Amino acid sequence: MPVVYRQDGFNVQMWPNDHPPPHVHVIRAAGVAVINVDTLTIRRNEGMDRRNLSRALDIVVDLQEFLLAKWKELHG
């Protein structure tokens, strides 16, 4: 899965052939959060503590325009 953005140990990844709605997988250490980019909601959390989950959501909020453009580029 391609990393589309890195910050402070967080890797924001997007699969090129993934299903809608637009979302990213944010990975830090052993935790993974799946966040919908259009609605800015956390769809799934696997092992990410509350502080890192909040930071992951902040990153996606800050990058929303970029991530939606990247989704459109990868998925049409």
Q: What is the pLDDT of residues 10-57, one digit of tens each?
A: 999 999 989 999 999 999 998 999 999 999 999 999 999 999 999 999
Both structure tokens of 10: 């967080």
* Cis ω before 21 (30° cut-off from 0): yes
What domain range is 48 assigned to? 3-75
8-state DSSP, 61: H
Polymer length in residues for the chain? 76
Number of domains in the chain: 1
Could you give the angle at the alpha carbon of 31 between the alpha carbons of 66 and 15, nearest 5°?
A: 40
For the beta carbon of residue 75, count every other beta carbon within 10 angstroms: 14
- Global pTM reads 0.95
Determine the pLDDT at residue 1.
Answer: 66
